[in-house]
Structure 1
Amino acid sequence: MAATTIPRNAFYAQSGGVTAVINASACGLIEAARAASPRIGKVFAGRNGIIGALTEDLIDTSCESAADIASLRHTPGGAFGSCRYKLKGIDQQRAQYERLIEVFRAHDIGYFFYNGGGDSMDTAHKVSQIAEHLGYPLVCVGVPKTVDNDLPLTDCCPGFGSVAKYVATSMREAGFDVASMSRTSTKVFVLEVMGRHAGWITAACGLAGETAAEPPHIVLLPEIPFDEARFLARVQECVERYDYCTIAVSEGLLDASGRLLADMGTKDAFGHAQLGGVGQQIAQLVKDKLGYKYHWALADYLQRAARHIASRTDVEQAYALGRAAVELALSGRNAVMPVIERLSDSPYRWQLGVAELKNVANVERTVPRDFISEDGFSITEKCRAYLAPLIDGEDFPPFRNGLPDYVRLQNVPVPRRLPEFTI
């Protein structure tokens, strides 16, 4: 007679800035976990990321219908709430790590899935270490996500393809607007996009134009130190040649000394400098030095929430990585993260692989120099070949009364079993 499988529950949480497709990963993961019954019992989601685990604020996803879980695939944002909360070293915050294991033990959690970027993969790696140290049987798997596209060992990161599609589309459309009005009105348009240290999103704006005459005429990447004189000369050249100039700039633009132009002097919860307003700074510089009338725009949350124009490639990869995380956990792979491996550019073909969390955590991938033109103001054909497949295809959400029809889950809480814990 076969031995009876005793199911253990799973914990899933979302961390860091959310995306248009992070919920697609949640959908793939939850659906795969449900299909894996009886090896996996329930999937408990942490309300607001790892904070939900520390405070024992868990959500019972088994209360959600199959239809609502399926609807996560086309819903932006973080369905269970996210957070910017970084666990420090185990020696510094041992009580918090022990609390996590205490909560997992109380709810018989044997699988830990953390959906996020570099800091989140660091957290997942540390949780696997403390579980091993304390002798608690826990399989930890990271699920990649970041619009910044800066995780190593994966061809691309879920969330990036959709942001890239949005900003390239926005730049192309804004370019038509500015060109229409440039003779009597605006001469310069600046679009500020996300990207603290890595300029992948800014580079994606370069997809909008297929010739030097088409927007964007200039991209300003954090990988290339900002040279005011060279920049102003290029702006003037574009206006004289095309009658207008469009510029894409990363929020993380640096000057020659390595200083962030938009450093506000404060830090976020991950310890990163808070940024804002570099687009306005660049636009005002053009006005002050060259006298051109300008407009500037800050894509901000719009770029990462734009599920209505998500990349089909991005959606498919996000969903596949969620499912792959469960498959890795069930096969006993611990402290790993599923990744995308590119097989070819055209046609674009990819497959799933796996990376060790210890090789992913706290490693940041920036735009390679050969993806950037010699003068630093545009992208190369090699970069275009890399980026183009990631924005390919449409995956429109259902619409109702003219607007996207997104799902809001019940998020039923799991009864607490432990004393209150303050973080």
Structure 2
Amino acid sequence: MTKRNAFYAQSGGVTAVINATACGLIETARHRAGQIDTVFAGHNGILGALHEELIDTSQESARTIAALRHTPAGAFGSARYKLKGLQENRAEYERLFKVFDAHNIGYFFYNGGGDSQDTTHKVAQLGEQLGYPITCIGIPKTVDNDLPGTDSCPGFGSVAKYIAVSTREAGLDVASMAKTSTKVFILETMGRHAGWIAAAAGLAQELPGEPPHLILLPEIPFDRERFLSRVEQTVQELGYCVVVASEGTRNADGAFLADQGSGKDAFGHTQLGGVAPVIARLINDTLGYKYHYAIADYLQRAARHIASRTDVEQAYAVGQAAVEFALAGKNAIMLTITRLSDDPYRWQVGEARLAEVANVERKLPAEYISEDGLHITAQCRRYLSPLIAGEDYPPYENGLPSYARLRRCMVDKKLPRFEGN
């Protein structure tokens, strides 16, 4: 039987460890060269398949591929591009299969969040309808930690570590200056619908009175009066107040505090204008406190220099498992992390059917949120703590992290130009 090639693509917002997954997948495929020929990576995610822009990873040295393990962002380019339903836009899916056929691709590995798992599911469905032999494996990736069926999502542990560390360090800064300067500091985190990242800031508080003092979560409607009262009380008692706010903080009517009417992104998500300045102005206008705020934004998901070792190991492991599960005959599944125990923390790679996880969003459970809705519980702390454990520093050169630089050699095109997006 002729060996077949594999297609791998990175999708959606990138993370500090998505390239570790690519590393695990490509290295494992090379070790199984007798069963998989070449791994082609999509240039800019799924768009690379639509436009037949395929990167030949076999042209990268073993050293370069190994360096992906400690390199942040998406080495092959990612994209926020959502393929519509099979009936709505069948032409795009059929184009994918024309590209697959032209390049003898029999394995489809898609590395992303909920929308990406939906795409992988649809590709698997159409492959079955067309009678085209394609093995489809969804590989979890999202800093938001909101995929169902998996205990944690690669990418989350590192951003959680960054936020917890930043909260502790900024808290020390504010406390040292509060007597004559800033009284309130607000750190805005990612997390549009689920508060996992903001909740991770709670790990910085080990003793009563330590920051963060208040955590605003999308799962809990924002109560203006209660919030202001707690800020004032905290400043009076401690001299300062540190607030961590998820970008998805909402009013009781469901409207985002940060919705500035800026439209929607390619996935149909509301463009948020920044909740931290909104909260800062509210505090200043009402209580008159001097404030500072920070919007972690891309810094939190790009911070490979402070990545969680647990996260790196899990990201690499799902890349390995994608190849191993595919060669074992698995299809139309998403890989998962299964927690075996908290202390000591033990885990293994499992699987979930794509039909059960596509477009399903996992929120922060009620038992992880304190009774007043403004902090995390001990149960949440037990869940989060192992995910930020351990350090996995990249190599440094001239005082800066040394990251992989890929050649990105493109495969020759065989098909007419695609006229879509």
> Which category describes the TM-score, using the shorter chain as reference length?
over 0.9
Aligned residues of 1:6 and 1:38 also touching (Cα < 8 A): no
Which residue of 1 is the match for residue 220 of structure 2?
224
Alignment of 1:45-194 (within 5 A): 45-194=41-190
Which residue of 1 is the match for residue 384 of structure 2?
387
Aligned residues of 1:155 and 1:340 also touching (Cα < 8 A): yes
Which residue of 2 is the match for residue 273 of structure 1?
270
Which residue of 2 is the match for residue 17 of structure 1?
13
In structure 1, C-alpha distance between the alignment counterparts of 2:248 and 2:273, rounded to whole Å:
9
Which residue of 2 is the match for residue 396 of structure 1?
393
Which residue of 1 is the match for residue 314 of structure 2?
317
> Could you tell me which of 190, 197, 203 is aligned with 1:201?
197
In structure 2, C-alpha distance between the alignment counterparts of 1:100 and 1:84, rounded to whole Å:
17
Deviation of 1:264 after TM superposition, in Å, equals 2.8
Matched, 1:240 2:232: no
Matched, 1:368 2:370: no
Report Cα offsets for 1:265-285 as digits up to 9, x if no partner: 210000111112101100110
Deviation of 1:419 after TM superposition, in Å, equals 0.2
Deviation of 1:6 after TM superposition, in Å, equals 1.9
For normalisation by structure 2, the TM-score amounts to: 0.99
How much identity, in percent, do the aligned residues show? 68
4+ aligned runs moved over 6 Å, structure 1: none
Aligned residues of 1:264 and 1:273 also touching (Cα < 8 A): no
In structure 2, C-alpha distance between the alignment counterparts of 1:239 and 1:422, rounded to whole Å:
59
Aligned residues of 1:208 and 1:215 also touching (Cα < 8 A): yes
Match of 1:219, SS state, is strand
Matched, 1:284 2:277: no
Aligned residues of 1:197 and 1:252 also touching (Cα < 8 A): yes
Report Cα offsets for 1:25-72 as digits up to 9, x if no partner: 000000111111121000000000000000001100000000100000
In structure 1, C-alpha distance between the alignment counterparts of 2:269 and 2:348, rounded to whole Å:
33
In structure 2, C-alpha distance between the alignment counterparts of 1:261 and 1:131, rounded to whole Å:
43
In structure 2, C-alpha distance between the alignment counterparts of 1:118 and 1:221, rounded to whole Å:
20
In structure 2, C-alpha distance between the alignment counterparts of 1:138 and 1:390, rounded to whole Å:
34
Match of 1:259, SS state, is coil
Unaligned 5+ runs, structure 1: none
Deviation of 1:126 after TM superposition, in Å, equals 0.4
Match of 1:216, SS state, is coil
Matched, 1:251 2:247: yes
> Could you tell me which of 324, 329, 337 is aligned with 2:326?
329
Q: Which amino acid aligns with 2:241?
A: C
Deviation of 1:249 after TM superposition, in Å, equals 0.2
Match of 2:322, SS state, is helix
Which residue of 1 is the match for residue 298 of structure 2?
301
In structure 1, C-alpha distance between the alignment counterparts of 2:90 and 2:419, rounded to whole Å:
14
Aligned residues of 1:166 and 1:303 also touching (Cα < 8 A): yes
